[in-house]
Amino acid sequence: MVSLPKITFFGAFCAIFASTAASRVLELSDRFMDIHKEGQWLVMMYAPWCAHCKRLEPIWGHVAQHLHATSIRVGRIDCTRFTNVARAFKINGFPTILFFKGDQEFVYNGDRTKDEIVRFALRLSGPPVQEITRTQSFEAIKKAQDVYFLYIGERTGHLWETYNKVADTFQPHAFFYQSYTNVAGKHAPSENTPAVFVYKENSHYHFTGEDRNDREALNDSMYKWVNAERFPTFPKVTRGNINQLFLTNKNLVLAVVEENQLEEIQPDMIEFRDMVQAVIMKKRDKYHDHFQFGWIANPDLANSIAMMIVPLPSLIVINTTTSHHYIPEDEPRKLTPHAIELFLEQIYNESAPTYGGNGWLVRMYRSWFEFRTTLSEMWKGNPILTMVLFGLPFGFLLLICYSICCADILDADDDEEEESSHMKKD
Ligand SMILES: *[C@@H]1O[C@H](CO)[C@@H](O)[C@H](O)[C@H]1NC(C)=O
Ligand SMILES: *[C@@H]1O[C@H](CO)[C@@H](O)[C@H](O)[C@H]1NC(C)=O
Ligand SMILES: *[C@@H]1O[C@H](CO)[C@@H](O)[C@H](O)[C@H]1NC(C)=O
């Protein structure tokens, strides 16, 4: 009884907090089509009936709260009421997150978490390359970004122009900065400027590209370098970022573990993941050009890649150009760093057996596998609902088939009966 007022107070507090967070979200109408080119907008296109939209709603409130002090306006549009908006922006799924900046329009495809969405908006809101003018800013940037690119030097010359162009292409996916030797101080090497670096995990790597006077070769090599370097050395791989990882054209080496709802992982799986991580951390130079490492916390994603229930923990390697995958022959728990290295060597010299791929038969099998897995998950979660949803239509289907196929037999029986009754009359 005593604690009751406290709960109510807490509840009220939450309600107030939630409502201020939600109230930062602008409810937009079809008038948005007239004003979307003015300023910067982060907009969620939603439908009231869509479950994913409902799940995104509280996150969207927090995104709006977080971006409140910036020039980005956060809103949402009910596409079932304003169908002309959905048509104008070619929305074909809900929710769709869009960022508008002048004439430009960007679709967000990443994970629907507050941090990721906020970062996406912040990356796009500034110019492709953001200038760092104060030494103190480096600390804040290091804390906020796990990967970022840095150009040190004056804003002229081929290297700068190429950097700027590549930054423009990758702006939705990475942070690009520019600064000067005297501003960067101890935060960047001061020799041989201008120079381009990537920063990750307390290290930096120097871009040592082609001949700086050959514009095309320079563009090509910097483009490839940025595309390959824009990920952490050992990222968590999700449905939101796996498509971007596929664009690296490397082999993805993934440690598959399982995370519970509280984002906890069992100690033995953590040990396995750390072991896989150690391989790339210790031998980055050897593997970096051909292998992108990472880890998956959602076994469903790994299952749908491998088209089977993978044991946990396990290791799976995917060739991102052909979508073939490789599975070590050893039992995953018995894998050692040495065994992993041998396995990667076999993949590299193409002597390891491959599975899957991207043929139509494999794609059909994958769809079937996913359907079957979803069905069995549903069955475990709620057998009665699954029965009603799938059993009932199936039952009807059977009944229809039965009546079509067996109709002749029934008719025949009827005829015979009739005939026999005639006979009796005679
Ligand atoms: C730079 O190189 C990339 C990748 O090779 C290419 O797609 C892009 O069109 C090039 N840009 C220019 C301006 O040449
Ligand atoms: C993926 O497989 C193709 C065909 O076997 C091969 O040419 C390519 O080098 C492989 N990719 C990587 C990153 O090894
Ligand atoms: C590929 O690499 C493995 C592991 O080092 C080795 O045993 C095998 O002989 C190699 N195969 C070819 C065809 O080079």
Task: Encode pLDDT of 167-202 as tens digits.
Answer: 999 999 999 999 999 999 888 887 888 999 999 988
Q: Verify that 333 and 388 share a domain, yes or no.
A: no
Flag whether 210 is in a domain: yes
- Count Cβ atoms below 10 Å from residue 88 Cβ, excluding itself: 13
The verdict on 153 and 198 lying in the same domain is yes
Instruction: Please tell me the pTM assigned to this model.
Output: 0.79
399 domain-assigned? yes
Within a domain: 276: yes
Cβ atoms < 10 Å from Cβ of 360 = 7
Indicate the DSSP class of residue 235: P
Q: In tens digits, what is the pLDDT along the chain, a chain of 426 residues?
A: 333 344 444 444 444 444 555 578 999 998 999 999 999 999 999 999 988 899 999 999 999 999 999 999 999 999 999 999 999 999 988 999 999 999 999 999 999 999 999 999 999 999 999 999 999 999 999 998 889 999 999 999 999 999 999 999 999 999 999 999 999 988 888 788 899 999 998 899 999 876 677 888 999 999 999 999 999 999 999 988 999 999 999 999 999 999 888 889 999 999 999 999 999 999 998 999 999 999 999 888 888 888 788 888 999 999 998 888 999 988 888 889 999 999 999 999 988 888 876 667 677 777 777 777 777 777 777 777 777 777 777 777 777 777 766 555 444 444 444 444 444 444
Q: Is residue 335 part of a domain?
A: yes
Domain that holds residue 222: 128-229
> For ligand 2, is residue 358 a contact (CB within 6 Å)?
no
Tens of pLDDT, residue by residue over 39-61, are 999 999 999 998 889 999 999 99
Joined together, the tokens standing for residue 35 give: 């004003």
- Measured in whole angstroms, how far is the alpha carbon of residue 89 from the centre of its chain? 22
DSSP H or E run through 392: helix 392-425
| Ligand 3 atom, smallest distance to 349 CA | 1
From the CA of 381, how far away is ligand 2's center (Å)? 40
With a 6 A CB cut-off, is 205 part of the ligand 1 pocket? no
Same domain, 217 and 254: no
Domain boundary residue, one of 297, 322, 357:
357
**3-class state of residue 257 by DSSP:** coil
Whether residues 72 and 90 share a domain: the answer is yes
Quote the strand ranges of 94-228, DSSP E. Answer: 96-101, 104-108, 130-131, 147-152, 176-179, 195-200, 203-206
Is the CB of 277 within 6 Å of ligand 3? no
CA of 198 to the centre of ligand 1 (A): 20
My answer on whether 96 and 151 are in the same domain is: no
* Ligand 1 atom 4, closest CA: 220
354 CA closest ligand 2 atom index: 5
Coil, strand, or helix at residue 357?
coil
Q: For 79-194, list the strands marked E by DSSP.
A: 96-101, 104-108, 130-131, 147-152, 176-179
Residues 225, 155, single domain; the answer is yes
State residue 383's pLDDT score: 75
56-109: per-residue pLDDT in tens? 999 999 999 999 999 999 999 999 999 999 999 999 889 999 999 999 999 999
Q: Which residue has its alpha carbon closest to ligand 3 atom 2?
A: 346
Domain assignment present for 415:
no
Tell me what pLDDT residue 38 has.
92
Which atom of ligand 2 sits closest to the CA of residue 250? 13
Is there a single domain that holds both residue 294 and residue 344? Answer: yes
162 pocket-lining for ligand 1 (C-beta < 6 Å):
no
Residue 411 lies in a domain: no
Cβ-contact 256, 295 below 8 angstroms: yes
Q: How far is it, in rounded angstroms, from Cα 51 to Cα 54? A: 5
Residues 203 and 284 grouped into a single domain: no
For a mutational test of ligand 1's pocket, the pick from 223, 225, 249, i.e. the residue with the most ligand atoms closer than 8 A to its C-beta, is 223
Does the beta carbon of 346 lie inside 6 Å of ligand 3?
yes
From 94, 124, 154, the end of a domain falls on 124
Question: How many angstroms separate the CA atoms of 106 and 120, rounded?
Answer: 10
SS3 category, 126: coil
- Find the ligand nearest to 226 CA: 1
Is 333 a member of any domain?
A: yes
C-alpha of residue 341 to centroid of ligand 3, in Å: 12
Residue 408 has a pLDDT of 52
**What is the β-pairing status of strands 96-101 and 104-108?**
antiparallel
**Which atom of ligand 1 is the closest one to the Cα of 165?**
13
Contacts of 149 (CB under 8 A, 6+ apart): 163, 167, 174, 175, 176, 177, 196, 197, 198, 199, 226, 229, 230
Residues 25 and 48 in one domain: yes
Alpha carbon of 326 to ligand 2 centroid (Å) = 12
| Closest ligand to Cα 247 | 2
Instruction: Return the residue whose CA atom lies nearest to atom 3 of ligand 2.
Output: 322
Burial of 50 (0-12, 13-18, 19+ CB in 10 A): middle
Ligand nearest to the CA of 215: 1
334 and 380 inside one domain: no
Kindly state whether residues 201 and 223 are assigned to the same domain: yes
Nearest protein CA to atom 11 of ligand 1, as residue: 219
Q: Is 147 helix (H, G, I), strand (E, B) or coil?
A: strand
Domain harbouring 104, CATH code: 3.40.30.10
Give the per-residue pLDDT at 220: 92
Together in a domain, 170 and 188: yes
Q: What pLDDT was estimated at residue 108?
A: 95
